[in-house]
Amino acid sequence: MTVWVEGATGKAGRRVVAALTAAGVPVRAASRHPGAARGPVTPVRFDWYDETTWAPALGDAGTLFVKGLDSDDGAAALVARFLAASQAGRVVLMSAAGVDRTPDHAPRRAVELAVQRSGKRWTVLRPNWFLQNFDEDEWVFAKALRETGELYAGSGRAGFTDTRDLADAAAAVLTSPGHDGRGYTITGPAALTFGEVARVLAETSGRPIRLRDVTPAEHREHFAKSGRPEAWVDHMLHLFELVRAGAFAAVTDDFRRLTGNEPRTLAAYAEEKWAPAAVSPR
């Protein structure tokens, strides 16, 4: 059965596409830039803000992998309308760790509820912070790490997870029965501080990398240079506040139970991406 994957060019979505195609599943890879799709997929143009793209993008897909838009308070309404317009019977939502403990009106929780009330068979995946933010998300961490060796962050711990693990968990859920009405929290094997991350990246790369333990005001000033919308800056500051409050510190067994594998470690990710002779894997 064909799976429609939203955000197919993103850090998580493109690995979900890779995991599904490796398993021989037909994929409709959706993004605003279908030309960027890789592998044996059907690339389709899809824009949350252009409803004329929705039906042609969906085609005959029976199952949907959806993430929705983060820093848009209208995301839940969009997701509800989109699901009502689709013929697919099943939806797997990529939300984020801890969202199920936030109030119903919080934007990401509202997206989860829109999915759960859609009338479709649903599953929610809640990954922790992605390790790939350190090298692939230019403004969250990557640019400053590359240019000055500074890891702009704060205190608190997170169970950083490799997006390939998220993708493998998603593929397991998307290709096997028994997941309807369930939520899974996907984490790495340990809850680490940003200071510990900086130390591992420095030791592995041989470069001087250090934590820049910024106040929320300094962080806002840093993110403001990105030119990204204020809603994105607010969203990021809120996430760092949640890390400080311990919202991402829990480590779960869900990845092991879904895939039978051990979650990838920070050290393994660093060796692949940060070692001087690293060759970039998928």
Ligand X SMILES: NC(=O)c1ccc[n+]([C@@H]2O[C@H](COP(=O)([O-])OP(=O)(O)OC[C@H]3O[C@@H](n4cnc5c(N)ncnc54)[C@H](OP(=O)(O)O)[C@@H]3O)[C@@H](O)[C@H]2O)c1
Footprint of ligand X (CB under 6 A): 7-13, 31-33, 36, 46-49, 67, 70, 94, 96, 127, 129-130, 133
**Can you tell me the distance from the alpha carbon of 124 to that of 94, in angstroms, rounded to the nearest whole number?**
6
Q: What angle do CA 201, 19, 127 make, to 5 degrees?
A: 55
Cα radius of gyration (the chain): 18
Tell me the closest approach of the beta carbon of residue 49 to ligand X, in angstroms: 5
Tell me the closest approach of the beta carbon of residue 206 to ligand X, in angstroms: 26
Please, which residue, 48 or 274, has the CB nearer to ligand X? 48
Please, which residue, 208 or 253, has the CB nearer to ligand X? 253
Q: Which helix (H) or strand (E) is 216 found in, with range?
A: helix 216-224
Tell me the closest approach of the beta carbon of residue 70 to ligand X, in angstroms: 5
Please, which residue, 31 or 63, has the CB nearer to ligand X? 31
Tell me the closest approach of the beta carbon of residue 159 to ligand X, in angstroms: 11
**Can you tell me the distance from the alpha carbon of 243 to that of 38, in angstroms, rounded to the nearest whole number?**
34
Tell me the closest approach of the beta carbon of residue 277 to ligand X, in angstroms: 26
Please, which residue, 14 or 222, has the CB nearer to ligand X? 14
Please, which residue, 8 or 25, has the CB nearer to ligand X? 8
The amino acid occupying position 184 is Y
What tokens appear for 52 in the block? 């004329």
Please, which residue, 5 or 206, has the CB nearer to ligand X? 5
- Cβ neighbours of 233 (radius 10 Å): 19
> With the CA atoms of 224, 227, 233 and 236 taken in that order, what torsion angle do they form, in degrees rounded to the nearest 10?
-100
Report the interhelical angle of 194-205 vs 266-273 (nearest 10°).
40
Tell me the closest approach of the beta carbon of residue 51 to ligand X, in angstroms: 11
DSSP alpha helices (H): ranges in 74-188?
75-85, 107-116, 133-136, 143-148, 163-175
In three-state secondary structure terms, 3 is strand
